[in-house]
Amino acid sequence: MTRATFLRFTAIWLVSLLPLCAAALDEPRTLRLLGHSRVEQASVVLDEAQLRWLRERRTLVMGVSAPDYAPFDLTNNNDELEGVTADYAALIGQILNMPIEVRRYDTRDEVIEALKQGSVDFLGSANGYEAADPQLRLSRSYANDQPTLVTRTGDSQALSDDLAGKRVAMLYHYMQPAAVQAFYPRARLELFPSTVEALGAVAFGNADVYLGDAISTSYLINHNHLNNVRMADFSALEVNPFAFAVTRENTRLLPILDTALAVIPASEQMEILRRWSAGNLGIVATGRLHLSASEQRWLQKHPRVKVATLDKFVPLSFFDEHGQFEGLSAEVLSRISLRTGLKFDVVSGTSMPQQIDQVSTGAADMLAVVTPSVERAEKIRFSRPYLTNPFVLVTRSDERSPLTLEDMVGKRLALIPGNGLRDAITQNFPGVEFVDVENPEQAMALVANGGVDGAVNSLISARYLIARYYRDRLRVSSTVGSEPARVTFGVNRSQLELYSILDKALLSITPQEMDELIGRWRNDIIIEDSYWLRHRNAIIQGFGLAALLLLVTLGWAIYLRSLIRKRVQAERALSDQMIFMRALIDGTPHPIYVRDRQGRLMACNSAYLDVFGFKLEDVIGKTVVETDTGNPPQARSFHEDYLRLMADGEPQIQDRILKVPTGEVLTIYQWMLPYRDRDEKVVGMIAGWLDVSERQRLLGQLQEAKDDADAANRAKTTFLATMSHEIRTPMNAVIGMIELALKNAEQGRADRDALEVASVASRGMLELIGDILDIARIESGHLSLALQPASLHELLASVVRVFEGLARVKELVLQVELDPLKGHIVMLDPLRFKQVISNLLSNAIKFTPQGQVKLGAQVLDEGEYLSVQLWVQDTGVGISAQDQQRLFNPFVQGGNSEQSARSGSGLGLVISRSLCEMMGGQLHLSSVLGQGTRVDVTLRLARAAALPAQALPAGVQTPSARALRILVVDDYPANRLLLARQLNFLGHQITTAEDGIQGLAQWQAGHFDGVITDCNMPLKNGYQLAQDIRAQERAQGLTPCLLLGFTANAQPEETERCRQAGMDGCLFKPTGLEDLRSALAPLTASLCEPEVAAFDLSTLAALTGGDPHVLEELLMPLLDSLAADRTLLSTLQRKADFAGLHDLAHRAKGGARMVKARTLIQGCEALATVCERRDREALGPVVEALDDAIDDLQRGLSMYCKRP
């Protein structure tokens, strides 16, 4: 065990027993003042008031505090107070001729409070701590206060100006803690009850820096043998010197004390400081050096100096077992550092010549140990010596060993190269053989091992090495030379400022201080094998102090009993508090838990356990990762958040997702807070959460509703914009063409083409509105299918017949393969089925400029069901992949065709696919741009037994043979007039009414076969009118008349609403002649013979308002034109005039379109095609067929117009 280890162990043990001495006393302890100073013939001049005040007082009471503040306040076993303050107080008592009573209080705050209360007259050893109190005033100072920073000897790290990151130990009443903390904001201040404990904390590694005054610090280091601490630097804190303190109200005493202190001679003041400063008065008196401007600039540029030193050059320089620089040179460098502020970086070496070369070349700034010589002076400059010691001859401890240099003639002498004695020995003892060595230790080893006969070394080094390593083996035989060894610092010759600074610093060290430093390393008591010799003083002191403390133990035991009683009471109160906190935490309905610094669970409430379904023993003491939560990734995420929170030291509050072992996913509002111990160190965390899943769900629903509303609003805007475009386009044609027809009618001309275009545009607009209604029904789920038995083959054949002519006109081949469908009767909605196929064929023909369109079918028998596959394939322009992605969105058309525009609203495919899905099937489109398109329809249809009996569709019919009396009720004049004209055209007698009330009055006044009423009217709507009519019919026993509703709301539910009101059916606007004829069919006794199916006058009848006279006026010019065309046809055929025939075909086709003469239209188109090809062989049959068609139309129109 080394000496440092033993001292550390002993000091720790002693310091741990110090609290046993702090027995609490209710009353102050009275001490006897023991002063060691006395002045002769010292007197003061006081005024009468001051003298009277002193006579009245009779005794002055000085207050001091425990523990001792050495060397200012020291107590002994005789209840006596001595020290610096005691010496000055005794001199004041002598000068004032007043006895001084001393009262000692347990703490500094207690004695200050006693001063304020008047229990004592003044305080001793007061400085800046008391000066900060506004109620106190300080007297004239009697000792300077130089704040000093002390560190461990082995601490090589330089102190920064702000002591950043350092633990600073300080006596609690040395300075105001707030002021110290403000000056060193980045340091952590730790307060101690005594200077011994504060300095001991640094000595034994519990703190980094000690802050205290220089006088007490020096005293404690030297008298407590704390060899492992050193004064590293002075602090720049502003302080007050030591003085006596009185209350601000005590205006009498303060000038008396100042007067008494002023008459104490300076010599006595120096004697007092010398008596108690333990040889280090120079440090306090000198402080920083007075340096020149150039030296100060050098210091600012070179705050750190690299020092080369020899290892194992004991006791001048060496490195201990911990690698720390030790020795006399280290002590001197420490004193220089205090005075100059320089910081020294030590570089170890084993060769003196090598280190001299390092300094001379600038690799190092200075040498720590070197003796001057002429040879060495050429390379380095030598400072003032800090040690003068004789050179000695060391030989082996035997009788044959040389005793002097005369005996060394012819023998080997170990000597460091460059030593100044070499030349003198060579001159005086030429027979001596020199052996060069690197350092003194190597020289001593060579002597001991017989390598040389003797060695030259300094006395202090030789005695130290012999005592430590070579006892009884080597000896100091004699001194060598007349000049002693002068140990100096070696400096690079160009570093003049450093040389000057070192000399000034060495001069500032007093001889007394230097003797004290040398005295520490002069003794030869450090002997490794003799534990008692190495630690005798420490052991005696330790046992002495232990005996003293053991005597105090008995009194301390009594005091402990009272503390134990108080502790039991405190534990009971703490237990009650813990029970209360447990009830508070467990009673909280939300989860709360506590984890330590490693994330282990320390405590939680029952709500936390209930969420996870755990028991307390399953989770306590475990991290969340170690707990079986069923979700390891989530557990790792939470654990990382815990550790990050405690590392950052900042609270976290956030929403997050928590999945519990039951599978339920919670949205929680989590809070996590770090908690700290009394040193503000984070030692754990407290956390909890609120379950906000319901709130989050409502917020999500709210956001979804907002998004849906925004989407609906955007869809509405898009829909309105699209509808505005789609409706305005045909409406423009309707209005424009009707306007042209009216203008031509004013001039006596019938513009058939204008009327035809207007009719087609209006029907297209009606189809668009129907498509929109279908889309609305599909999206709302209100579109329903009217299933009935139907023949697939016949339905598809009827659709094909419609598109044959259009395909023939475009010279397309329409290829149909429907044979697999023959004989199959299924349940479907014929109208919707034909709507799908018509849309597909229409698109295929429309976008195929040449080639063919193919309609095919396949059937797979599945028992009660048929799996039907239909396809429509064309060789048209095709559709790009980009357009196919969006083609099934409403109002979207393909945009990559070569056509300038594509007619239509873009709803056909959307409706077709929706209808297929409603019928239990699918619609799939595939296309290649420029090659064509194929659409496949797959349906699964239920079989039906047979088709129901039904009449074949009739052709264009003339007005019914029986005239009916019809009451028309409509509040809109235009609709009322149109409906009356249509019914007049059908040959019926019409009575009109403007609203429901008037209509009911008309019905009551006359007998009507039928009533057609608008559903929505003011005053009395159509539903109410129907209910009133039915009620009166039942009351009067009348036969129910035909009662039809008339509305623009083309919704299926509207028909049901009309029937519930008592109506027989419902007509939807716009209504054509055939719709009216069909609706009135039950009342007609018989129907006219059907017209020749070669024409249809319904469109013209609608345009003329059903007026037969106007209609006849329009047909007469057409009959004349047909006769002329027929005559011209024969003439042009004989001449084979293809151009004339082409013009005739175009002109005749216009008239045929006006009356919808399909056969004539097809004949005109065929003739135009033949003329374009100039095919003479096909001309004859085509002209013959066209002549027959013109003849049939002539006969039919003549019969209608009753023209022979």
Tens-place pLDDT, residues 67-94:
999 899 998 776 889 999 999 999 999 9
CATH number, residue 751: 1.10.287.130
Tell which wins on pLDDT, 767 or 816: 816
| Whether 1145 contacts 1172, CB under 8 Å | no
| The pLDDT value given to residue 1145 | 85
Residue 38 belongs to what domain range? 34-144+242-286
Alpha carbons 292 and 298: distance in angstroms, whole number: 10
Give the DSSP per-residue string, 1040-1106: PPEEEEEES---HHHHHHHHHTT-SEEEESS--HHHHHHHHGGG-S--PPPPPTT---HHHHHHTTT
| The pLDDT value given to residue 305 | 92
pLDDT bin (cut points 50, 70, 90) of residue 757 is low
> Does residue 905 have a pLDDT over 70?
no
Whether residue 740 is contained in a domain is answered as yes
> Does residue 956 have a pLDDT over 90?
no
- Tracing tokens 């065709």 back to the chain, one arrives at 897
Tell which residue, 256, 298, 344, 210, has the closest CA to residue 51. Answer: 256
| Whether 1034 contacts 1014, CB under 8 Å | no
Tell which residue, 488, 315, 484, 316, has the closest CA to residue 385. Answer: 488
> Does residue 372 have a pLDDT over 50?
yes
Q: Is the previous residue joined to 417 through a cis bond, with omega within 30 degrees of 0?
A: no
Q: Where are the alpha helices (DSSP H) in 588-682?
A: 606-612, 616-619, 632-648
3-state SS class at 652:
strand
Question: What amino acid is encoded at 293 in this protein?
Answer: A
Residue 210: CB partners within 8 Å, gap ≥ 6? 149, 150, 151, 168, 169, 170, 198, 199, 201, 202, 217, 229
> Does residue 775 have a pLDDT over 70?
no
629 DSSP β-pair partners: none
Does 44 lie in the same domain as 10?
Answer: no
Domain boundary residue, one of 664, 691, 718:
691
CATH number, residue 987: 3.40.50.2300
Does 519 lie in the same domain as 535?
Answer: no
Report pLDDT digits (tens) over 1126-1167: 888 888 888 888 888 888 887 888 778 777 788 888 888 888
Whether residue 224 is contained in a domain is answered as no
Does 86 lie in the same domain as 15?
Answer: no
Whether residue 955 is contained in a domain is answered as no
Query: 108: how many CB neighbours lie within 10 A of its CB?
Result: 23
Alpha carbons 299 and 233: distance in angstroms, whole number: 15
| Whether 362 contacts 492, CB under 8 Å | yes
pLDDT bin (cut points 50, 70, 90) of residue 132 is very high
| The pLDDT value given to residue 805 | 64
Name the most confidently modeled range: 120-134, 674-688, 970-984: 120-134
To the question of pTM greater than 0.85 for the whole model, the response is no
pLDDT bin (cut points 50, 70, 90) of residue 701 is confident
HEC profile of 225-277:
CCCCEEEEEECCCCCCCEEEEEECCCCCHHHHHHHHHHCCCHHHHHHHHHHHC
CB-facing half-sphere around the CA of 858: CA atoms within 13 A: 7
Report pLDDT digits (tens) over 642-673: 899 888 888 988 888 888 888 788 888 888 99
Give the DSSP per-residue string, 65-76: ESS-BTTTBEE-
Whether residue 154 is contained in a domain is answered as no
Does 808 lie in the same domain as 895?
Answer: yes
pLDDT bin (cut points 50, 70, 90) of residue 336 is confident
The mean per-residue pLDDT over the stretch 185-191 comes to 94
User: β-strand 60-65 against 100-105: which pairing, if any?
Assistant: parallel
Query: 622: how many CB neighbours lie within 10 A of its CB?
Result: 14
| First-last CA distance in the chain | 151
Alpha carbons 556 and 890: distance in angstroms, whole number: 98
Tell which wins on pLDDT, 644 or 743: 644
| The pLDDT value given to residue 23 | 38
Does 512 lie in the same domain as 467?
Answer: yes
Report pLDDT digits (tens) over 973-1028: 878 888 888 888 888 889 999 999 999 998 988 788 899 999 988 888 999 999 99
The mean per-residue pLDDT over the stretch 529-546 comes to 64
> Does residue 899 have a pLDDT over 60?
no
User: β-strand 865-874 against 932-942: which pairing, if any?
Assistant: antiparallel
pLDDT bin (cut points 50, 70, 90) of residue 951 is very low
| The pLDDT value given to residue 567 | 85
User: β-strand 825-828 against 852-862: which pairing, if any?
Assistant: unpaired
Does 116 lie in the same domain as 89?
Answer: yes
Domain boundary residue, one of 541, 576, 611:
576
- % of the chain surpassing 90 pLDDT: 21
| The pLDDT value given to residue 902 | 40
| The pLDDT value given to residue 954 | 35
The mean per-residue pLDDT over the stretch 1085-1098 comes to 51
CATH number, residue 672: 3.30.450.20
> Does residue 524 have a pLDDT over 50?
no
Domain boundary residue, one of 517, 552, 576:
576
| Whether 412 contacts 453, CB under 8 Å | yes
Structure tokens at 9: 């162990």
- Long-range contacts made by residues 562-567, C-beta under 8 angstroms, separation at least 24? none
Does 742 lie in the same domain as 661?
Answer: no
CATH number, residue 1136: 1.20.120.160
**Backbone region of residue 841 per phi and psi (left: phi > 0; alpha: psi in -120 to 50; beta: other values):** alpha
Overall domain count for the chain = 8
Does 742 lie in the same domain as 889?
Answer: no
| Whether 393 contacts 477, CB under 8 Å | yes
Does 39 lie in the same domain as 14?
Answer: no
Question: What amino acid is encoded at 319 in this protein?
Answer: F
Alpha carbons 1094 and 1075: distance in angstroms, whole number: 20
> Does residue 826 have a pLDDT over 50?
yes
Buried-state track 666-693, b at ≥16 Cβ within 10 A, e below 16: ebbbbebebeeeeeeebebbbbbbebbe
458 DSSP β-pair partners: 391
Whether residue 507 is contained in a domain is answered as yes
CATH number, residue 432: 3.40.190.10
Whether residue 43 is contained in a domain is answered as yes
Tell which wins on pLDDT, 1130 or 53: 53
Structure tokens at 1010: 């039928």
> Does residue 569 have a pLDDT over 70?
yes
Does 492 lie in the same domain as 399?
Answer: yes
Which class for 820: exposed (0-12), middle (13-18), buried (19 or more C-beta within 10 A)? middle
- DSSP state at residue 406: G
User: β-strand 1065-1068 against 1042-1047: which pairing, if any?
Assistant: parallel
Does 798 lie in the same domain as 778?
Answer: no
Average pLDDT, the chain: 81
> Does residue 1085 have a pLDDT over 80?
no
Whether residue 550 is contained in a domain is answered as yes
Residue 507: CB partners within 8 Å, gap ≥ 6? 384
Does 567 lie in the same domain as 610?
Answer: no
Residue 931: CB partners within 8 Å, gap ≥ 6? 875, 878
Whether residue 205 is contained in a domain is answered as no
- DSSP state at residue 143: B
